[in-house]
């Protein structure tokens, strides 16, 4: 039976469903405008600072060193993430609709998964590189040769591509074939995991694989940072230089990089919280007075919006973190 005030859900177009779901998730025009301009600003900042950093690295005589190679790889991930996510969110906000479930949705999901995983792996490698540089300086250049750095970077991309490919395959194998045509519009502004999985009928296998692989990489990143900077701090304390001065400088360095790591991992932490809440509360709730199809619960909708914004923050932070510790790059 059709919902009162609406056509039968099988007759509703994708555009109508998208606009309806968008209105449920973002009912305030002020919120929409604020989110739109915030997205545009973050995209401009990310592209500008990453572009300037790449230009500075290109002018540097040491652009081939392991630290610079990893930084350039991180910037590449950030730029690719920004240009696939920023315009998509801006389009949805400008059109006042959610993202249609189509080819671009899967492409954007695939690229975002690759970039996020590769960024985490690269950050992990950067922590280990600093550990080798500080604690094993004599063997540093012998261990991290240019060829080995190329292998490390290539392995990071290969692992990320494998995780994303397996997730996409599991999504297609486990999707609900009985999903009605009215559901050909997703529940969000991006095809992030929960949004896409819900639109495909909540297949269990890709969700489990995604959560396990994401949790494993995140824990590896945190452990590598903890090990690397703890060892560097211990070496600084045991240095021959005056104890108080070295200890104070070491504390500031460790605190700075740990704080920056937490900022870089904000989207990951938000996704973990989102996964827990979606598991406990369920993905959707019926909103019969506002929309003739199932739509996100207020909590799920708020978490999606928060994740959309937080995903654009690390590309803005990463180059700024580097220039704060290495201002000479921008003086080339």
Q: Which domains does the chain have, with CATH numbers?
A: 12-331 (1.20.1070.10)
In this predicted structure, what is the pLDDT of residue 293? 61
Higher-scoring residue by pLDDT: 181, 101: 101
Question: How would residue 215 be classed by pLDDT, with cut points 50, 70 and 90?
Answer: confident
How far is CA 41 from each of CA 55, 82, 94, 136, rounded to the nearest angstrom? Answer: 21, 12, 15, 42
Question: How would residue 287 be classed by pLDDT, with cut points 50, 70 and 90?
Answer: very low
At which residue do the structure tokens 């827990």 appear? Answer: 276
State whether residue 15 is helix, strand or coil: helix
As a whole number of angstroms, the distance between CA 118 and CA 80 comes to 11
Among 12-21, 93-102, 116-125, the least confident range: 12-21
- Residues of the chain with pLDDT > 70, as a percent, come to 76
- Reference 91, options 13, 14, 22, 27; nearest CA is 22
Please report which helix (H) or strand (E) contains residue 296, including its range: strand 295-296
In this predicted structure, what is the pLDDT of residue 177? 58
How far is CA 94 from each of CA 128, 187, 292, rounded to the nearest angstrom? Answer: 43, 16, 23
**Token pair listed for 198:** 């819900």
As a whole number of angstroms, the distance between CA 275 and CA 271 comes to 6
Residue-by-residue DSSP string for 94-113 = HHT-PPBSSHHHHHHHHHHH
> CB of 267 within 8 A of CB of 311?
yes
- Reference 278, options 255, 308, 303; nearest CA is 303
At which residue do the structure tokens 């180059």 appear? Answer: 319
As a whole number of angstroms, the distance between CA 199 and CA 187 comes to 7
As a whole number of angstroms, the distance between CA 143 and CA 151 comes to 13
State whether residue 145 is helix, strand or coil: coil
Average pLDDT of the segment spanning 34-60 = 87
**Token pair listed for 277:** 């809440």
- Reference 249, options 241, 124, 115; nearest CA is 241
Average pLDDT, the chain: 78
Question: How would residue 279 be classed by pLDDT, with cut points 50, 70 and 90?
Answer: low
Indicate if the pLDDT at residue 142 is higher than 90.
Answer: no
**Token pair listed for 132:** 């080798």
Question: How would residue 152 be classed by pLDDT, with cut points 50, 70 and 90?
Answer: very high
Higher-scoring residue by pLDDT: 111, 261: 111
Indicate if the pLDDT at residue 68 is higher than 60.
Answer: yes
Average pLDDT of the segment spanning 75-95 = 91
**Which value, in Å, is the radius of gyration of the alpha carbons in the chain?**
22
In this predicted structure, what is the pLDDT of residue 19? 82
**Tell me: the pLDDT tens digits for 164-188?**
999 999 988 877 655 544 457 788 8
Question: How would residue 10 be classed by pLDDT, with cut points 50, 70 and 90?
Answer: very low
Average pLDDT of the segment spanning 70-81 = 90
In this predicted structure, what is the pLDDT of residue 288? 43
In this predicted structure, what is the pLDDT of residue 59? 73
**Tell me: the pLDDT tens digits for 24-46?**
788 888 988 999 999 999 999 99
Average pLDDT of the segment spanning 98-115 = 90
């Amino acid at each position: 039976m059709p919902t009162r005030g609406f056509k039968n859900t099988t007759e509703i177009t994708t555009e109508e469903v998208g606009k309806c779901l968008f209105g449920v998730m973002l009912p305030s025009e002020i919120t929409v405008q604020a989110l739109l301009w915030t997205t545009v600003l973050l995209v401009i900042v990310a592209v500008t600072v990453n572009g300037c950093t790449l230009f500075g690295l290109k002018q540097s005589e040491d652009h081939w060193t392991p630290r610079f190679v990893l930084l350039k790889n991180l910037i590449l991930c950030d730029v690719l993430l920004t240009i696939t996510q920023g315009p998509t969110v801006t389009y949805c906000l400008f059109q006042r609709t959610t993202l249609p479930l189509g080819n671009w949705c899967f492409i954007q999901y695939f690229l975002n998964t690759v970039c996020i995983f590769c960024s985490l792996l690269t950050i992990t490698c950067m922590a280990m590189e600093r550990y080798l540089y500080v604690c094993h300086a004599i063997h540093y250049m012998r261990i991290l040769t240019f060829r080995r750095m190329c292998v490390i970077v290539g392995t990071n991309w290969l692992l990320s591509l494998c995780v994303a490919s397996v997730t996409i395959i599991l999504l297609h194998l486990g999707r609900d074939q009985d999903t009605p045509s009215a559901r050909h519009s997703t529940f969000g502004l991006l095809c992030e995991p929960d949004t896409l999985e819900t639109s495909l009928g909540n297949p269990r296998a890709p969700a489990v694989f995604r959560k396990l692989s994401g949790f494993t990489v995140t824990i590896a990143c945190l452990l590598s940072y903890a090990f690397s900077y703890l060892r560097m701090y211990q070496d600084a304390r045991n240095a021959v230089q005056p104890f108080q001065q070295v200890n104070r400088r070491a504390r500031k360095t460790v605190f700075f990089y740990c704080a920056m790591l937490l900022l870089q991992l904000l989207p990951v932490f938000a996704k973990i919280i989102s996964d827990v809440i979606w598991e406990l509360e369920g993905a959707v709730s019926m909103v019969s007075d506002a929309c003739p199809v199932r739509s996100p619960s207020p909590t799920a909708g708020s978490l999606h919006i928060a994740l959309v914004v937080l995903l654009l923050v690390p590309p803005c932070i990463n180059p700024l973190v580097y220039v704060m510790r290495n201002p000479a790059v921008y003086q080339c």
